[in-house]
Chains A and B, each alone.
Chain A
Amino acid sequence: MRFEPGQRVRVAARPHEGHCRTPVYLRGKAGTVASVHGSFANPETRAYGADGLPERPLYGVLFAQRDVWPGYTGPGEDTLVVDVYEHWLEEA
């Protein structure tokens, strides 16, 4: 596992063709690793009938809502946790 809890990471801002579980609203956003969930079969290839191996590490990444939505009107403490695969994360 490349990242550890507390580490700042950024979601890659790259286009993707085909099935993907990294939401568009998160691309390019920076957060902090909150959980290390372990490794799972890659849905991006499983979605086309492949076995999804090798498994890919999955992280629960915590974002400040204000960092995700320019117009966020809620309090500064509000957060968003999204499960993101390692191959979509970079060091921030």
Chain B
Amino acid sequence: MSHDHDQPHDHGHDHEPIGHDGEPPAAARVRALEGLLVEKGVITREAVRQGVDWLVSRSPGDGAKLVAHAWVDPAFKERLLTDARAAAGELGLDAGPSPTVVAVENTDEVHNMVVCTLCSCYPRALLGPPPAWYKSLPYRSRAVSEPRAVLAEFGVELDPGVELRVLDSTADVRYLVVPQRPEGTDDLSEDELAALVTRDSMIGVAQPRAVEPQPA
């Protein structure tokens, strides 16, 4: 997970004096906190390691598999939209330990876009950790009040007449966007379809990848 820094992380604000390896003081602090809590028997190192292992195992590939399967199997898509956790389970995918996951479908009429204005709620089990911008203050404030300007920054312009529906994940529900299947993909395998489904398309700030035009 760690990587060499040539310069300190840019969070857009000033850090306190940086420790070794470009890490902020919080790094040493949290390691010391883990040690203290393990010594006190509050938690075990194994429990922490399990948490780390789970987190690093999460990736948007799981969400992409769900979407690709929904694209090829309309009955599965309906089940996904009704109960995403159960549908994920059909494919052997882990929808996460707690809250409810709801899949919402983009159509010709509606384009969905997800945010958590209050913190950073996100379907991590199926998409991996949220991108830094999703957790950022400007995304959290602008995604609800000026979503089309935000989409424009992401390079997305919706067709006229499309309803832009922003979902603010304020409670125990996590939202996963099912983007529309791109044109010209009838001959693709499910794995090839999954490769078109980007993390950002499942947040709703991007469309899925287009198919490469075939050589003549």
A interface list, Cβ under 8 A from B:
21-23, 25, 35, 37-38, 40, 43, 58, 60, 62, 65, 68-69, 72-75, 77-85
Contact = CB atoms under 8 A, between A and B. Distances in A.
B171 A81 contact: no
B151 to A, nearest CB: 10
Question: Interface majority SS on B: helix, strand, loop or mixed?
Answer: mixed
Contacts of A58: 171-173
Contacts, number: 77
B168 A43 contact: no
Nearest to A84: B170
A83 B100 CA distance: 12
B170 A81 contact: no
B118 A81 contact: no
Kindly state the interface size class of chain B when it binds its partner: 20 to 34
Interface in B159-194: 161-173
Contact of B170 (A23, A35, A62, A65): A23
A73 B100 contact: no
A81 B166 contact: yes
A73 B164 CA distance: 12
A80 B147 CA distance: 10
A68 B145 CA distance: 8
Interface of B: 99-100, 102, 117-118, 144-148, 161-173
Contact of A60 (B145, B147, B166, B173): B173
Contacts of B102: 35, 37
Given A58-B172, A60-B173, A74-B147, A23 B163 contact: no
Contact of B171 (A25, A40, A75): A40
B171 to A, nearest CB: 4
Given A79-B166, A83-B170, 8 more contacts: A37-B173, A38-B100, A40-B171, A40-B172, A69-B145, A78-B166, A80-B144, A85-B171
A54 B145 CA distance: 33
A72 to B, nearest CB: 7
A57 B99 CA distance: 14
A65 to B, nearest CB: 8
A72 B100 CA distance: 31
A83 B144 contact: no
Contact of B173 (A43, A73, A78, A83): A83
Nearest to A64: B163
A23 B117 CA distance: 8
B171 A83 contact: yes
B172 A81 contact: no
A77 B161 contact: yes
Given A73-B146, A74-B147, A74-B148, A23 B171 contact: no
27 contacts: A21-B171, A23-B117, A25-B145, A35-B102, A37-B102, A37-B172, A38-B100, A40-B172, A60-B173, A65-B147, A65-B166, A74-B148, A77-B161, A77-B162, A78-B163, A78-B164, A78-B165, A79-B165, A79-B166, A80-B165, A80-B166, A80-B168, A81-B166, A82-B168, A82-B170, A83-B169, A83-B173
